[in-house]
Amino acid sequence: MKTKRGILSLTNLEKGRFVMQKIQPRYMMATEAQHLTGDISSNTPDLCVVHGEESDNWIGNWVTGFGFMNVKFPKATTRELTQEEKEKYHNNWIAVGSQFRYQLKTNMPENLEPKLRDKTIVVITRNSTYRFGPADENGERTISRDGKPLKHTSCKIEYLAVGEELLAEWLDGSGLGLRTTTVQSVV
């Protein structure tokens, strides 16, 4: 980019000022927030989701509002959710107008996948049964579904817990993944 802004951004990146590290997304409570367009702070603590961090800031966006992306939330004024807040927000739906957009997951049970990495597992959901082979050193597993074959044969389980949706990534480069109905049991 040949604009002054592009050159400035490149210079700052080279100096290490804007280097963001991606982190596992999580919900937090914040008041102060800075965006490229200016100050978009809240007068009262409000829910945000962060997906990256810099030395002094969390990077993310407000859960509700105008949809500003890559907002900087100062670490000094942003905190983890309390257990009471996790319970309050967990499974609430966010709607835009009359359309539901997504469901908040703030109080997630422990991910079972790391404990079952070297085991063959059967996951029974509300309407399907999935069979997974043991994971290799990269977390890759074979997968099949009883009754209705899948297009894919290998995946990496991202999240597995009874009472929640199973999330897995297809490893064929399609960029898509598996999201099941609620897991009833893991054998």
At 180 the pLDDT is: 92
pLDDT at res. 11: 40
- What are the tens digits of pLDDT across the range 69-115? 899 999 999 999 999 998 888 878 877 666 666 677 777 778 898 89
Q: What is the pLDDT of residues 163-181, one digit of tens each?
A: 888 989 888 777 678 889 9
Give the per-residue pLDDT at 95.
74
- pLDDT (tens digit per residue) in 18-68: 577 888 788 999 999 999 999 999 999 999 999 899 999 999 999 988 788
Helix (H) or strand (E) holding 16: none
Phi, psi values for residue 5, rounded to 5°: -65, -40
- Pick from 81, 3, 71, 85: nearest CA to 32: 71
Q: How far is CA 142 from the centre of its chain?
A: 23
- Model-level pTM greater than 0.85? no
pLDDT at 18 (0 to 100): 56
What is the per-residue burial (b if ≥16 Cβ within 10 Å, else e) of 96-111?
A: eeeeeeeebbbeeeee
Local confidence band at 10 (pLDDT 50, 70, 90 cut-offs):
very low
Residue 99, pLDDT score: 64
Instruction: Kindly give the pairing relationship between strand 93-96 and strand 46-53.
Output: unpaired
The string of pLDDT tens digits covering residues 158-167 is 889 998 889 8
Q: Which residue has the tokens 């100096």?
A: 15
Work out the average pLDDT over 135-160. 92
All structural domains of the chain with their residue ranges: 4-103, 113-186
10 Å Cβ neighbour count for 123?
Answer: 24
Q: Which helix (H) or strand (E) holds 62?
A: strand 57-62
Distance of alpha carbon 68 from alpha carbon 72, whole angstroms: 10
CA 35 to CA 161: how far, in whole Å? 35
